[in-house]
Structure 1
């Protein structure tokens, strides 16, 4: 039981911490101090639901019906291209950190909708949490699989809350406009790189 929990934390954490679209978005919002609590909580809950579904066996359904994966792939790639284009556009606008107005930059509704989009429209979420973690969990006995999932869920909560609230420590750096330009271009490259990785297998098969 303890071994399953620890392995769940380690494997889950290694997948979640990897630089991706979701983490880049959470980082930027955390630096802006724009709704860090609801964003961290929503990302953690989404991960928890996906991990739980994977441990329960949903990954087998996704593998059985590849159409689900294809639809999610093209929809997610389109969203990431759109979000990356906006980040690239923002990188050419001179701005610094205006902490007093950070909360007004984005509405809570927009922040939540973007968080949902950046999470649920990214097929890597399903591959990492539902399929991969779900598959790894099968090495444990039925009684221990929930503990593996619990460890992965805890790692997700720790990571997203640490990233969301810890990002504010970078605020002094982002008082300079150049820092924002680099961050926006990093986000642009991250989003488009992930979109390209999603689309490439389909292009290679043509």
Structure 2
């Protein structure tokens, strides 16, 4: 009875540990030591909800609707493009402006909204949790299926809290302005890479190329 649980944990971990928009945001807040518990909790709870929906069969419905996936991918790409640009502009700020950004305290409401946006506006989250984990869980029946889901949810909670609080270990490295510039630049590249892959997935890039 334990095998499906640990299989779910291993599968969930393999999907969420890859560096993406959500992990980059959690890492940044962890280094700043701002609202770490809240950010990790929201990400974990959202994953738990999405994984539950996938196990309940919603993933198969989404995978059968290419139009819905395309719309979600286009919207997610736009959000990630803007968020990535914001990080690039931050990286290019003068030393004084960058220092203010490093130590500025973000309100609880802003953190909640940003975390929800980073999580729910990224179609990759749905593909990993609802579609992929939901599809894999369908190979189990009865209680084993829920054990698999429980393992995936456990992996999500463990990862986000470890990332959020473990990032504090890197804090001494970020006493230098250049380190923050590198981090924001890397986040910019990650966001735009994901945005590009989403546009490619949605077929929007092909449509744009056909116009020229």
TM above 0.5, one fold?
Answer: yes
Helix, strand or coil for the counterpart of 1:10?
A: helix
Does the CA contact (< 8 Å) of 1:9 and 1:154 recur in 2?
Answer: yes
The 5-angstrom pairing of residues 17-32 of structure 1 reads: 17-32=17-32
Structure 1 equivalent of residue 85 of structure 2? 85
Runs of at least 4 residues of structure 1 off by over 6 A? none
CA distance 1:170–1:97, shift in 2 (3 Å): farther
Does the CA contact (< 8 Å) of 1:56 and 1:134 recur in 2?
Answer: yes
CA-CA distance at 1:63 after TM superposition: 1.7
Structure 1 equivalent of residue 71 of structure 2? 71
**Farther off after superposition, 162-171 or 89-98:** 89-98
CA-CA distance at 1:98 after TM superposition: 9.1
Query: What is the aligned-residue RMSD (CA, Å)?
Result: 1.6
Structure 2 equivalent of residue 204 of structure 1? 206
Alpha-carbon displacement from aligned partner over 1:62-113 (angstroms, at most 9, x marks no partner)? 12233321221111100000000000000012235998xx4x5211111111
Structure 1 distance, partners of 2:74, 2:179, is 32
Structure 2 distance, partners of 1:80, 1:48, is 23
**Farther off after superposition, 6-15 or 62-71:** 62-71
Alpha-carbon displacement from aligned partner over 1:21-71 (angstroms, at most 9, x marks no partner)? 100010001101110011000000000000111111110111223332122
CA-CA distance at 1:193 after TM superposition: 0.1
Structure 2 distance, partners of 1:113, 1:87, is 17
**Farther off after superposition, 59-68 or 22-31:** 59-68
The 5-angstrom pairing of residues 185-200 of structure 1 reads: 185-200=185-200
Structure 2 equivalent of residue 47 of structure 1? 47
The 5-angstrom pairing of residues 107-126 of structure 1 reads: 107-126=107-126
Does the CA contact (< 8 Å) of 1:96 and 1:174 recur in 2?
Answer: no
Structure 1 distance, partners of 2:188, 2:101, is 22
**Which 5+ residue runs of structure 2 have no aligned equivalent?**
none
TM-score, scaled to structure 1: 0.94
TM-score, scaled to structure 2: 0.91
Structure 2 equivalent of residue 141 of structure 1? 141
CA distance 1:161–1:97, shift in 2 (3 Å): farther
Structure 1 equivalent of residue 4 of structure 2? 4
**Farther off after superposition, 35-44 or 139-148:** 139-148
Structure 2 equivalent of residue 162 of structure 1? 162
Q: Give aligned pairs, total.
A: 203
**Which 5+ residue runs of structure 1 have no aligned equivalent?**
none
Alpha-carbon displacement from aligned partner over 1:135-159 (angstroms, at most 9, x marks no partner)? 1111112221000000000000000
